[in-house]
Amino acid sequence: MLLDFLYNLSIYIYVGLLKLIAPFNKKAKLWVEGRNNLFNKLKSDAERRQLRSRSAKVAWFHCASLGEFEQGRPVIEAFRKQYPEYKIVLTFFSPSGYEIRKNYSGADYIYYLPTDTPENAKDFVKIVDPDIAFFVKYEFWKNYLTQLNKCKIPVISFSAIFRPNQIFFKFYGGFYRDLLHQFNHILVQNESSLELLKSIDIDNATLAGDTRFDRVKQIVDNKKDIPVVAQFKDGHQIFIIGSAWQTDMDVLIPLINELKDGTKFIVAPHEIHDAEIEIWRNQLTVKSVLFSDTDEVKDLESYDVLFIDNIGMLSSLYQYAEYAFIGGSFGKGLHNILEAATFGMPIFFGNQSYQKFQEANDLVQLGGAFPVENMEELKTLYQGLKANEKKRTKAAEICSNYVLDNVGATQKIMEVVESVVKK
Which residues of the chain form CATH 3.40.50.2000? 220-405
Average pLDDT over residues 265-284: 96
Please give the torsion angle defined by the CA atoms of residues 63, 67, 71 and 76, in that order, rounded to the nearest 10 degrees.
50
Bridge partners, residue 69, by sequence: none
Bridge partners, residue 59, by sequence: 88, 132
Sign, CA torsion 336/166/27/249: negative
Find the distance separating the first CA and the last CA of the chain, reported in whole Å. 33
Which strand (E) or helix (H) includes residue 13?
A: helix 2-21
119-154 pLDDT, tens per residue? Answer: 999 999 999 999 999 999 988 999 999 999 999 999
Task: Report the distance separating Cα 157 and Cα 139, nearest Å.
Answer: 8
13-56 pLDDT, tens per residue? Answer: 999 999 999 999 999 999 999 999 999 999 999 988 876 666 78
Amino acid in position 328:
G
Q: Are 197 and 205 in contact (CB under 8 A)?
A: yes
Task: Name the average pLDDT for the chain.
Answer: 94
Residue ranges of the alpha helices (H) in 296-357? 314-317, 338-343
Confidence of residue 331 (pLDDT cuts 50, 70, 90): very high
Task: Report the distance separating Cα 376 and Cα 371, nearest Å.
Answer: 12
Confidence of residue 417 (pLDDT cuts 50, 70, 90): very high
DSSP three-state, residue 308 = coil
**Nearest of 30, 48, 19 to residue 112 by alpha carbon:** 30
Average pLDDT over residues 358-384: 97
187-218 pLDDT, tens per residue? Answer: 999 999 999 999 999 999 999 999 999 988 88
The answer for 388, left when phi > 0, alpha when psi is -120 to 50, beta otherwise, is: beta
Q: What is the CATH number of domain 220-405?
A: 3.40.50.2000
Q: What is the CATH number of domain 8-209+408-422?
A: 3.40.50.11720
pLDDT at 54: 66
Task: Report the distance separating Cα 154 and Cα 149, nearest Å.
Answer: 7
Exposure on the CB side of residue 49, measured as CA atoms within 13 A: 21
Backbone angles phi, psi at 236, to 5 degrees: -90, 160
Which residues of the chain form CATH 3.40.50.11720? 8-209+408-422
Task: Report the distance separating Cα 40 and Cα 37, nearest Å.
Answer: 5
